[in-house]
Amino acid sequence: MTERRRFLITGGSQGIGAALVTAAARHGDVVFTGRNDALIAEVARGSGAHGLRADVSIPDDNARTVEHCQKMMGGVDVLINNAGFGYYAEIGALDVEMMKNLFATNVFGLVDLSNRLVPLMKTQGHGDIVNLASTSGMKGNKTGTAYGASKWAIRGISQVWQAELRPFGIRVVCVCPSEVQTHWMGRTGRNNPNKLYAQDIADTIMAGLNMPRRVLWPELAVFANNPWKEE
């Protein structure tokens, strides 16, 4: 990536988000958000990026995040909507309030923050929006009503935004990672050296951003080549 860019990355205090912050900080100025002060401070120290405690499900936090980016960086060239969490339950035992809370972050928070930034990107005549969906949004899985539905929604939203924003020089990319070795939902037993790493997803996204601006990856699924291999 030749020119320096201004990045806003949500959910940047751990997992894929932290890997993205570190990668992006090598190519530009970065503001990232999270909800855990200790993790935010750790990523900020390691990357040199600027961390901000903010929750995308809270509209006032999103307004404050945009204002902070304008103050710190003068705007945003790349928005990476990474913040999200999971909730799994079979239909018949589903907590609908939990599903609403999940959508408040995974879907409505993503929309609210993007809605605030797109007018600024239109004014400057360029921008990139990267939405993190999942392969769970490409094929239904047991217990995945809430989480899978949120990721299906992100894929659909991304397609709509592509149609709306391409004429303004704004690229919208939807990335669908398969299972990644992170502390997802506090679980550590999923670690397997043959599965994807957070860095793999970060590198993929940065490669897409580094393509000439005439090139758009509308959607990309990322799988481990052979996650079942025994060492």
User: What phi, psi does 196 have (nearest 5°)?
Assistant: -70, 155
Could you tell me which CATH number the domain at 5-222 has?
3.40.50.720
User: What phi, psi does 73 have (nearest 5°)?
Assistant: -125, -10
- Structure confidence at residue 181 (pLDDT): 82
Annotation says 87 is catalytic: no
CA distance 114 to 128: 11
pLDDT above 80 for 229: no
List all residues 6 or more positions away from 87 whose beta carbon is below 8 Å from its beta carbon: 95, 98, 99, 101, 102, 146, 147
- Structure confidence at residue 191 (pLDDT): 65
- Specify whether the CB–CB gap between 102 and 83 falls below 8 A: no
Sign of the CA dihedral 228, 135, 121, 116? negative
Task: Please write the tens of the pLDDT for every residue from 50-94.
Answer: 999 999 999 999 999 999 999 999 999 999 999 999 999 999 999
- Structure confidence at residue 186 (pLDDT): 55
DSSP conformation class of 166: G
- Structure confidence at residue 167 (pLDDT): 97
Question: What percent of the chain shows pLDDT beyond 90?
Answer: 88
Which band of pLDDT confidence, cut at 50, 70 and 90, is reported for residue 230? low
Q: Higher pLDDT residue, 181 or 143?
A: 143
Task: Please write the tens of the pLDDT for every residue from 20-40.
Answer: 999 999 999 999 999 999 999
67 exposure class (CB count in 10 Å sphere: 0-12, 13-18, 19+):
exposed
Mean pLDDT over residues 5-18, rounded?
Answer: 97
CA distance 66 to 104: 18
Is the whole-model pTM more than 0.75? yes
Question: What percent of the chain shows pLDDT beyond 70?
Answer: 94
Mean pLDDT over residues 202-226, rounded?
Answer: 96
Task: Please write the tens of the pLDDT for every residue from 147-204.
Answer: 999 999 999 999 999 999 999 999 999 999 998 986 655 555 456 788 899 999 999 9
- Structure confidence at residue 1 (pLDDT): 45
- Specify whether the CB–CB gap between 199 and 17 falls below 8 A: no
Segments making up each domain of the chain, as ranges: 5-222
- Specify whether the CB–CB gap between 114 and 129 falls below 8 A: yes
